[in-house]
Amino acid sequence: MGRPDWRAMLAGMTSTEYADWHRFYRTHYFQDTQLDMHFSGLTYAVLSLFFCDPDMHPSDFSLLAPRRDDEQTEMPDEDDMLMRKAAGLSGGVRFGADGRKSLWSVMTCGAVQRMKPC
């Protein structure tokens, strides 16, 4: 049970054979990408049997490929949204994403007052 000797394989390969391998692996990807393509293709095949959606594509089920631009919606910044929601609550001190005190603190009366960070 010896390991494959890739150095001997490359030494015995001509430049034409190497170029052929290079062209082949440009279209037939390695490991993670290939597994993702197989998974998304299989999922697409199974779901296309049950749902007749003409807009469905195998890339919709890919774990590695980004979503198509036409389907992306702009999401608001989560930290800003949480800080705005927290400003409506009364009492306590709000902490930022880094764990330090926030510049905004809500007093018990509900008024927002500017504070210095710790």
**Domain match, 17 and 49 both:** yes
**Domain match, 16 and 61 both:** yes
**Domain match, 16 and 58 both:** yes
Q: Is residue 1 part of a domain?
A: no
What is the number of structural domains in the chain? 2
Residue 118 has pLDDT above 50, yes or no: no
Give the per-residue pLDDT at 24: 84
**Domain match, 59 and 95 both:** no
Interval 16-74: pLDDT, tens: 998 998 888 787 766 777 788 888 999 999 999 888 888 888 888 888 876 655 555 56
Structural domain boundaries, residue 95: 78-114
Number of neighbours of residue 55 by Cβ within 10 angstroms: 8
1-10, 56-65, 84-93, range with the lowest pLDDT = 84-93
pTM score of the predicted model: 0.35
**Domain match, 62 and 13 both:** yes
Give the per-residue pLDDT at 42: 92
**Domain match, 24 and 64 both:** yes
**What is the token pair recorded at 103?**
């510049």
The DSSP secondary-structure symbol of 12 reads T
